[in-house]
């Protein structure tokens, strides 16, 4: 961002904070905006107050167009570790984050926020897409484990990670943290952090012979959070799974575990061409049932796609009633299972690119992020037009760069 864009986002964020959740420090919005502007001019950055950080993290989740579970955005627990940039401490606090989020299976949404990016300094960040990930091996023309992580597994081995003597399909990869000097450090996942759930079916015991399992706490660690012009490249965020994420995607996708055919055979379904044209549909249904039943038997929080869709519709109605058009990316919100049977299938969606938000790269999903002013009601026609023009110019410049 240019200094002008950073200042614009900062002022807009402060104004939103005072509109939605006025802080209790007695300072007026104009005074806080002036203080932020002076700090930006002097140092090129500024520091959010603890209240601003919590508010901004929750709004970033509320604005993120690819999440179906945003009805719980206001309950997000935010842990402020902004003074931490040491990889050893980041790893230890990330593992403690996982333990806190677990709560003996009653998962809660938690975010740990570490040091932000600053002018003239390289930030510390976690390279894993998620804190817990399974390894992928390619050998003798066959793939063992998660196909998506084959390259990440190769990197981990080159950095010194020792894979099991006999590679398996569910070997947990280490946490890899890049420090402020660009060096990578590896941290093995503690056993009490990696709670896993074996997948079994109540009516098809043969499924257990496939040895399927998955971890309980999903914690996204490869995204950058941006709040009021300040980027937080190390802000792991955990929630809980929707069953289709595991059954219909992680297990069934060809570029992941590709278990659709083995699972169908375990269920005893006819898979030959012309015998049962719906064997894939039936297999996906039973896989979802197996995942749901397994997590519930283990007393680990999980949600089915129909309940998640209904919750999203509640979120959509609440946001519109509050005068905030919600962002949504249809391909990410609509579940991969029984899509037309879910109310979100028929819901028009637009990704507004509103900030605060999360992104992976300023060159891809971050290019269109900007202050939208979509929830402001007291603006003139000239102000609206100028803001649209600034937004178009910013998008053009970012695409050009």
Instruction: List pLDDT tens digits, range 9-23.
Output: 999 999 999 999 988
Q: Which two tokens stand for residue 302?
A: 């999980």
Comparing C-alpha atoms, which of 291, 79, 73 is closest to residue 202?
291
Q: What distances in angstroms separate CA 186 from CA 46, 88, 113, 122, 295, one per listed residue?
A: 31, 10, 20, 19, 30
Q: Which two tokens stand for residue 142?
A: 């066959």
Coil, helix or strand for 119?
Answer: coil
Q: Which two tokens stand for residue 263?
A: 């699972």
Give the pTM. 0.93
Q: What is the pLDDT of residue 389?
A: 72
Spell out, as residue ranges, where the chain has pLDDT lower than 50: none
Q: What is the pLDDT of residue 398?
A: 63
Query: How many whole angstroms separate alpha carbon 236 and alpha carbon 263?
Result: 33
User: What are the b/e assignments for 314-324, b being 16+ CB within 10 Å?
Assistant: ebbeebeeeeb
Q: What is the pLDDT of residue 346?
A: 96
Q: What distances in angstroms separate CA 39 from CA 27, 31, 221, 292, 295, one per listed residue?
A: 16, 12, 29, 50, 49
Q: What distances in angstroms separate CA 4 from CA 10, 44, 45, one per listed residue?
A: 10, 11, 12
Q: What is the pLDDT of residue 123?
A: 92
Give the other-Cβ count within 10 Å of 275's Cβ. 9
Q: What is the pLDDT of residue 376?
A: 61
Contact 132, 172 (CB under 8 A): yes
Q: What is the pLDDT of residue 26?
A: 78
Cα–Cα–Cα angle for 58, 64, 14, rounded to 5 degrees: 45
- Please give the span between the terminal C-alpha atoms of the chain, in angstroms, as a whole number: 11
Give the other-Cβ count within 10 Å of 251's Cβ. 25
Q: What is the pLDDT of residue 397?
A: 67
Q: Is cis: bond before 356, omega within 30 of 0?
A: yes
Q: What is the pLDDT of residue 270?
A: 93
Q: What is the pLDDT of residue 274?
A: 73
Q: What is the pLDDT of residue 362?
A: 87
Helix ranges (H only) for 44-147 are 50-63, 87-102
């Amino acid at each position: 961002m240019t200094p002008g864009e950073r200042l614009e986002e900062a002022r807009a964020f402060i104004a939103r904070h005072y509109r939605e959740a006025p802080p209790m420090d007695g300072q007026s919005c104009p005074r806080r905006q002036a203080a932020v502007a002076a700090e930006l001019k002097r140092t090129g950055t500024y520091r959010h107050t603890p209240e601003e950080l919590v508010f901004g993290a929750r709004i970033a989740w509320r604005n993120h167009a690819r999440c179906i579970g945003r009805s719980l955005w206001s309950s997000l627990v935010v842990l402020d570790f902004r003074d931490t940039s040491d990889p050893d401490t980041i790893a230890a606090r990330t593992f403690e984050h996982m333990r806190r989020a677990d709560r003996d299976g009653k998962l809660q949404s938690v975010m740990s926020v570490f040091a932000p990016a600053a002018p003239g300094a390289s930030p510390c960040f976690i390279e894993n897409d998620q804190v817990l990930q399974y390894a992928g091996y390619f050998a003798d023309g066959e793939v063992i484990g998660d196909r998506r992580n084959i390259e990440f597994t190769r990197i981990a081995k080159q950095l010194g990670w020792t894979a099991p003597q006999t590679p398996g399909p569910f070997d947990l990869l280490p946490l890899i943290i890049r420090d402020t000097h660009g060096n990578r450090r590896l941290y093995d996942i503690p056993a009490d952090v990696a709670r896993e759930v074996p997948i079994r079916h109540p009516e098809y015991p043969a499924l257990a012979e496939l040895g399927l399992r998955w971890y309980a706490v999903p914690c996204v660690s490869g995204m950058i959070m941006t709040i009021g012009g300040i980027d937080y490249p190390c802000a792991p965020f955990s929630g809980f799974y929707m069953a289709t994420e595991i059954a219909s995607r992680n297990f069934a996708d060809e570029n992941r575990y590709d278990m659709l055919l083995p699972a169908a055979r375990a269920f005893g379904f006819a898979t030959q061409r012309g015998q049962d044209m719906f064997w894939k549909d039936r297999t996906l249904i039973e896989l979802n049932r197996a995942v749901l039943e397994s997590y519930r038997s283990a007393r680990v929080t999980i949600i089915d796609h129909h309940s998640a869709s209904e919750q999203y519709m509640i979120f959509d109605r609440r946001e519109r009633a509050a005068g905030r058009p919600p962002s949504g990316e249809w391909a990410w919100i609509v579940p991969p299972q029984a899509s037309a049977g879910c109310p979100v299938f028929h819901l028009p969606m637009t990704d507004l690119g509103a900030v605060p938000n999360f992104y992976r790269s300023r060159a891809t999903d971050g290019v269109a992020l900007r202050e939208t002013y979509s929830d402001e009601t007291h603006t003139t026609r000239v102000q609206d037009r100028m803001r649209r023009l600034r937004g178009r110019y910013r998008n053009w410049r970012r695409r050009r760069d």
